[in-house]
Each structure stands twice: as C-alpha cells, then as structure tokens.
Structure 1
Amino acid sequence: MPPLPPVKASDSRAARLVLLVTAIGLISLNLRPALTSPGPLLSEIMREFGIDTALAGGVTGISLICLGVFGAAAPRLARRFGPERVILALLVVLAAGIALRGTGSFGALIGGMILAGLGIGVIQVLLPGIVKRDFARHAGTMTGLYTMNLCLGAAIGAGLAIPLEQTLGSWRLSLAAWALPALAAAIIWLPQAFVRQSPAPRAARPGRLWRDPLAWAVTCFMGLQSCLAYMMIGLMPLILEQRGDDSARAGLITAIAIAPQALTALAVPHFAARMRNQSAVAIVSIAVSAIGFLGLLFAPPSTALLFAVIEGLGLGATIGIAILFIVLRAPDSHVATDLSGMSQSVGYIIAALGPIVAGLLRDAGGNWVLPAAFFLAVASLNAVAGWYAGRDAHVLQDPES
C-alpha cells in the first residue's frame, strides 16, 4: 500500500481554523437563550411568585448586571490562565446556572440567572479578542457571523420557551433545557483549551484605556444599544399580552422580532468594516430600532408583526456595529480584549437598567407612554455615542495621552 501523503502545514492550519469557526459559532449560539428564554414565561413567573412588572424585569436585569460585573475580570483571567481555558470553564458554569433555574424556588431562578450572567459575561468579553487575533483580515465577516449567531440564539431562546414548556410540562424545565446545548458547546471547544494554547495576552495599560474618550464612546454605544435591546427582549411579551395577545402568540412575535436581527447582524458589520467611518450606519440602525419599538407600543395591534420585524432589523444592526467597534477601534488583539472587557462590563451594567427602569415607569404611569419616552432618550444618547465611536481611529492612538 502506498504511503499516505504528508499533511501540509497549510492543511493543518485550515482544519484548525474550521474547527475554531465552528466552536465560536456554537458558543455564540449559547450566549443569549439564557437571557431571552424567561421573557415569554414572565406572566407565569409573575403569577406563581406574586411579583410585579419591575421585579419581573429584574429577572433579566440581574443577569445583565452580572455580565457587567464579571466581564470586567475576563482580561485578568485570560492573562493568568489563557483565554481558551477560561472560556471552557465558564461554559460549564453557564450550563450549571441554566440548570439551576429549573430546580424550584424564586431564589434558585435568580441564582441560576447570576451564574448564567457570570458565564456569558466572561465568555463574550474574550471572544472578540480571539476574532481580532485569528481573523484580523476578515474582521467584518467574522464579527457578522458571531453576532448573527448571538441573534439566532436569542430568537431560538424566546421562540421555543412556550413550546418547550408545553412539551416538558413546566416553565422551570423549559428554562433548564438550555443547559444541554451549553454543554455541547463546551465539548466542541475542548480542543481549543487543551490542544492549542495562545500566549497569555499582555495588558493594554488599562488605566490609559479608561481615560481614552474613544474607548468611552465604544463603551457607551455598547451599553446603550444593549439597554434598548433588553428592554425589547424583556418586556415585549408583556407589551403584546397587555395589548390583547395570548402568551403563545406574544412569545412567537418576540421570536420573530429577534430573528431578523440575524440578517442585519451578519450583513451590516461586513458592509461597515469596508467603510472608513461607521457613524452614519450606527445612527440609521438606532433610528430603525426606535421606529419599530414605537410602532409596537402605539400602532394598531394588527401591525405588531410588521413593527416587530422592523425593530429586529435595527437591533441586529446595532449589536453587529457594537462588536465591530471593539474589533476595529483596537490596534491589536491584546487591546481588543481589554477594550471588550471595558465596554461590555460597563455596557451591560448600563443595559441592566433598561428593563428595570422601563418596568418601574410602566407601573408608575399605568401605561407604556413613560417607557416609550425613556426608550427615545436612550436611543438619542446612543446615536451621539455611535457618531463618535464610528470615527476612523484607534484607542490609545496617542502614546502621550
């Protein structure tokens, strides 16, 4: 039998990159179902535990706070243990948190959301740095694929919440079921953690980064667009139910609103990365989101599906641009990891306020007028941040700053 041809180094690298792309895709699919699956079930959770709209918004809000708090530690963990191993460990934590939500009490639900927030917060800080490191020449395409899967995961989490409840027999099991795909992602990621280890990323002078105006613009854009997104994800089912839909239809429309995000999350970063300045793209994306949200609140209920799709297209574009800003505004992968940590840690603390404040305003006013005004105020500030963050420049560009 003739000997097998030798494996070329280029073939080995291509195979490794295919496995890496597959693993990043599966991980990103698992970073949102834990956050979006409670939304369609909030009415039942509120009835069972006797909580109001503001506290129900806090079910999602507590995870977002954890995304911010724990995400800040991600760069230090990566420098000590390597980003690949940290991601593996936190995928296991994410699966454990998701499973805990199905064990019974309101305390277990909140505890599970905290653990899920810990896992998601650290993982999503580290992935943009890996994209910058391994796919620098295709940053727009990889950012688009990553954010597309984030949006698909969010849509799947919201869309299957009610069907899973009906199939499994309880909302608790519906929430806990998402532990299985998180474990599958950990298994696919194993070769990255133990076969290949990247050098520990060096610090990017975090003190300077936190004094950089462009870094703060990227951070504010990330936080404010997430605030808008989680107001929609967390409260849309309640909005639709209070406007006459049943829980199943409300969950379906919420999923439909999230699904179009995948289209713009894929296309917009790929398109915007080819431009010298992304400011206009960011502002148009925010405007589309605002039109969709206002239509859901005040247009005739028969048009809910149309405005859900409009809002989804806008929000998909904004999350894609937010992640792209991290990749493009950083001069290298090490700075990208630290900028990702800063923007997502502060950003998701800002985002956590969205569903909580909107719920408080809804309870205070008795309708959705005050939450709509709050949404528009956040969108306006987001547009200002997007205009500045879209400039063709790098953070830490001036060595004397």
Structure 2
Amino acid sequence: MSSTYLNAWRIAAIILVGLNLRPVLASIPPLLDQLQAAIALSDSAAGLLTALPVFVMGLGALSVAPLRRRMREHHGIAVGVALVMAATACRLWASDANLMLLTGVIAGLGIAVTQALLPYFIKAQFSSGVSAIMGLYSTAIMGGAALASVASPVLAQRVGWPQALAAWAMPAAAALLCWLAVNRVGAVAPLIANAAGHAHTARSRRWLLAVFFGLGTGAYTLVLAWLPPYYTALGWTPAAAGQLLGAVTVAEIGAGLLVSVAIGRLHDRRMALFMAIGLLLLGLLGLLFAPLLLAWPAAVLAGLGIGALFPLSLIVTMDHAATPAQAGSLASFVQGVGYLIAALFPFAAGVIRQHLSGLRPAWMLMAGICLILFVLAVRLRVPHAYGKP
C-alpha cells in the first residue's frame, strides 16, 4: 500500500477518533434537567458531571509520560478510545450520581490519553501539513460534540435517557476498530526517547501556552455544560436547548475548518487569535444582555470564537515543537495544565447557579476572562527558533 494512500486512511482514522472524544460530555447538558430529577443531582454536582472528566483529562495528560515509555503511541491511543467506549456503555446502568460521576472519570482518563498522544502521532507520521491535520482533528472533536448535543434529546424521547447516553459507545467502538485496522496496515514510527525534548522551550512560554489553552477551553466547557440549562430555565424545551448547543458546535466546526484551510497562510497566528477571542466576547455579551432576542446570533458568535480558538491554541502549541518528542511532551504539559484550569469553569458556574439563582454572573466572568485572553495572545508570536517566522 502506498504511503500516500495509507496516510489518507490514517487521517480518516484521526478524524473518526476525534469525533468520539466529546459525545460522552456533550450528551449530558441537553438532558441535565432529566438527570437531576432522576438521580437527585444538585446544581453543584451537575457541574461536576462536566468538570470532573475535564479535571481527569488534565491529570491524565500530565501523567501520560509513563504510558508513552511502555507502549507505542498508536497502542496508547487505542487504549484511550477503548476507555471512552467502555465508560459510555456503562452509562446504561448508571442509576445514581456516584456511578454517573465514575463513568465521567473513566471517560476523562481515556480522553486524556488519546489527546496527549495524538499530537505526537501526527507530528511523527506527517512531515508536512501538521497544522492542517491538527485543525481537522480539533474540528472533528467539536463535530462529535455537535452531533451528541442535537441527537441525545431526540434519542432520550424515544428510548430513555440512559439508553441515549450509552448509545455513543457504538460510534466509539467503530472508531476503535478503524484505528486498529489502519495502524496494523503499515509500520508506525517508534517513540523517540528525548528527555530534554522540550528544554529549549522557556518555562515561562510553556506556562503561557498552558494558561491560554486552559482559559480558552474553559469557555468551551462552560458553554457545553450550561448553555442548555440556561435556556431551559428561560422556558425552552430540552430539545430546543440542545439544538441551540448544536448551533454553537456547528459554528465551531465551520470555524475549525476555516482555520484548517487558512492556517498555512498565517505565519503570525495572533490576528486569528484576536478575531476568535472577539467573536467569543460578542457572543457572551449577547447571552448576557439579550438572551432571548439574540439567542441564535449569540450562540453562533460564541461558537465561531470557540471553534477557532481551540484549534489555534493547539496549533500554536505545536508551533513551539521542532520534533515529535518535543510535540508530545509540550502537548501533554499544555493540555494537562489547561484542562485542570478548564475544569474549574463548569463547576464554578454550577455553584453560581445554585447560590445566585442564575447563570448571568458566569457569562459575565467569562467575558472578563476574554480580556485576559487578548492580553495573553499578544505574547503568542512564534519565535523563529520554534517554528515558522
């Protein structure tokens, strides 16, 4: 089999894996009111349904180095997808809050392993077009969230909420089979040990990248967890609120695809970052000041901002890595710290909702964080020593 043909199949497998990294999270918010009624969840505990898996994603990414020493990265990715599949399937029997949270922990670990190893895999397997492939992969992640947010309430109406949540194990199983089949066809480049792989990246720059990724991803987890409950509290049906979240994620997909197409022409990523943050800020202001009148425009604007910001954050991180080993080490650190930060957002919003009887303060806080993102983005020009000028 030619390398071009094999690489095309590998890209398809990467996209399919990406599609299955968010349904386990995105399927819950449109059904949150039903879940809270069925298993007696407080608003704070409901926030943990998103926050806890994201927190585990962070811890798992920081701890993935031992796994990388024990197995090749494509095997580790298979393990991660298998954990996501198993956790999602177990939701069929998750009849109380503790079991539901446990499935989130297991899924978060699987997502962490997969997301920490895939940048290494992409950097190792593709000598060119890494930024575009990272853009496609991150867009696929958002596409899976879109599908789950729209389809889960429809499935719940027909078969019940446990079955609707567990149904996402089936596409995860398909992704696992595809990944195993594609990566058995040809030899996969072995891991390259490089203990000092990221030594050239200044510690302050690593932390800058991690904080920027964490705050930007915090916007994603906040909207993912609490946009549907925000609108059901305003009188919308769960299906309509799920469709609104679907509009957010469809906008995210469009923005992610645009980033994938245009990223090769942008040697200085900062203008794209400024535009993404600005769109997110406009969407948040719409949710704050005219949530009913501007529901759909605000959702689309927020989705465009989040959808561009997520892949750009990953691409800027990869810009700072010259080798696959550096890419793996830096991605693990940035995603690990970043997801720990992002996990705070949905939990904090749940506490705010429980004690202040609404989510407007949470949107206001996120709008303020957008101003911090603007300041951080100014410093994210890629140095010549790390990537393209």
Length-normalised TM-score, structure 2: 0.94
> Which residue of 14, 20, 33 maps to 2:23?
33
Residue range with higher mean Cα deviation, 204-213 or 312-321: 204-213
Contact 1:102 1:109 in 2 (8 A): no
1:260 equivalent in alignment to 2:238: no
Tell me the equivalent position of 1:351. 342
Aligned runs of 1:39-118 on 2, under 5 Å?
A: 39-103=29-93, 104-118=95-109
> What do residues 180-225 of structure 1 show as CA deviations (whole Å, max 9, x unaligned)?
1111111111135544232123235278478522222211121111
- Mapped to 2, the partners of 1:389 and 1:87 lie a distance apart of 29
Change (3 A) 1:300 1:90: closer
Contact 1:204 1:338 in 2 (8 A): no
SS in structure 2 of the partner of residue 260 of structure 1: helix
Paired residue type of 2:351:
L
- Mapped to 2, the partners of 1:76 and 1:395 lie a distance apart of 26
Residue range with higher mean Cα deviation, 191-200 or 370-379: 191-200
| Unaligned 5+ runs, structure 2 | none
Point out the structure with max Rg over C-alpha: 1
> What do residues 217-253 of structure 1 show as CA deviations (whole Å, max 9, x unaligned)?
2111211111011100100001111122111111111
- Mapped to 1, the partners of 2:192 and 2:64 lie a distance apart of 11
> Which residue of 114, 120, 124 maps to 1:123?
114
Contact 1:62 1:114 in 2 (8 A): yes
> 1:39: Cα distance to partner?
0.7
Change (3 A) 1:394 1:317: farther
- Mapped to 2, the partners of 1:270 and 1:389 lie a distance apart of 21
> 1:322: Cα distance to partner?
1.1
1:145 equivalent in alignment to 2:136: yes
> 1:395: Cα distance to partner?
5.6
Between the two proteins, the alignment pairs up a number of residues equal to 386
Aligned runs of 1:1-400 on 2, under 5 Å?
A: 12-103=2-93, 104-168=95-159, 170-195=160-185, 196-205=187-196, 208=199, 212-394=203-385
| Unaligned 5+ runs, structure 1 | 1-10, 397-401
Paired residue type of 1:52:
S
Contact 2:56 2:112 in 1 (8 A): yes
Change (3 A) 1:73 1:193: farther
> 1:83: Cα distance to partner?
0.2
Contact 2:124 2:189 in 1 (8 A): no
- Mapped to 1, the partners of 2:129 and 2:211 lie a distance apart of 25
Change (3 A) 1:39 1:325: same
Seq. identity, %: 27
Change (3 A) 1:111 1:370: same
Residue range with higher mean Cα deviation, 192-201 or 122-131: 192-201
> What do residues 342-380 of structure 1 show as CA deviations (whole Å, max 9, x unaligned)?
011111010000111122123232233321232123222
Paired residue type of 2:234:
R
> 1:258: Cα distance to partner?
1.0
SS in structure 2 of the partner of residue 62 of structure 1: helix
Length-normalised TM-score, structure 1: 0.91
Contact 1:232 1:293 in 2 (8 A): no
Paired residue type of 2:281:
A
Paired residue type of 1:149:
A
Residue range with higher mean Cα deviation, 155-164 or 354-363: 354-363
> 1:14: Cα distance to partner?
1.6
Paired residue type of 1:141:
A
Contact 1:84 1:192 in 2 (8 A): no
- Mapped to 2, the partners of 1:390 and 1:147 lie a distance apart of 21
SS in structure 2 of the partner of residue 257 of structure 1: helix
- Mapped to 2, the partners of 1:389 and 1:76 lie a distance apart of 30
